[in-house]
Amino acid sequence: MAPARRLGWVAFAAFLALVPLANWMIQHVGTACVPQGPCLVPVAPGLMAPSGVLTVGVALVLRDVVQRCLGLTFGLLAIVIGTGASMLVAPASLVVASGLAFLISEFADFAVYTPLQQRRLVLAVVASSCLGLVVDSVVFLWLAFGSLAFLPGQVVGKLWAVLFSIPFIRLLRRAAPTQA
């Protein structure tokens, strides 16, 4: 198997694993847990976010890697399976919020990434992930908690994952110079 395809399958598996992990973390991992709300983690001085933020930013980037290495069909398949997984593992109170936020944000990411990635891969990943993380944060927070109080923390927390991924995306250009 070619290195790019192998990387694509690893990204596909990691992407799907991060979806239930985010839903589990938001209820169980954090430095503080809000009654009837999420568990929170610090993402910057004085800024807290629901703990699932730690995996969602990475997931947005991994979906782009899946599409780059395995092709458009697998990128879309990852979105569909990820949405189902998100809804299956989310607590009952978060099923709709989790599923819709995931679905809408991943398609927003897809819509930006797809036309840009052939010419400017790093820009495509960063731009699509930034749009996806804002959409995911707004939809999830509003539907889950009826409030955007954690929006700045959500955006900053997910943005850290996107920024951390940039060197790896530069390496991806070498491993998969063109889309599968």
Instruction: Report yes or no on 161 lying in a domain.
Output: yes
Question: How many domains in the chain?
Answer: 1
Instruction: Report yes or no on 142 lying in a domain.
Output: yes
Instruction: Report yes or no on 122 lying in a domain.
Output: yes
Instruction: Report yes or no on 124 lying in a domain.
Output: yes
The answer, yes or no, to whether residue 1 has pLDDT greater than 80, is no
Summarised one tens digit per residue, pLDDT across range 36-75 is 778 999 999 999 998 988 888 898 899 999 999 999 999 9
Which residue blocks in 42-150 are alpha helix, DSSP H? Answer: 53-70, 72-89, 95-116, 121-145
Instruction: Report yes or no on 150 lying in a domain.
Output: yes
Instruction: Report yes or no on 62 lying in a domain.
Output: yes
Summarised one tens digit per residue, pLDDT across range 171-180 is 888 877 777 7
Instruction: Report yes or no on 138 lying in a domain.
Output: yes
Q: Which domain holds residue 85?
A: 16-23+50-171
Do 113 and 72 form a contact (C-beta atoms < 8 A)?
A: no
Instruction: Report yes or no on 45 lying in a domain.
Output: no
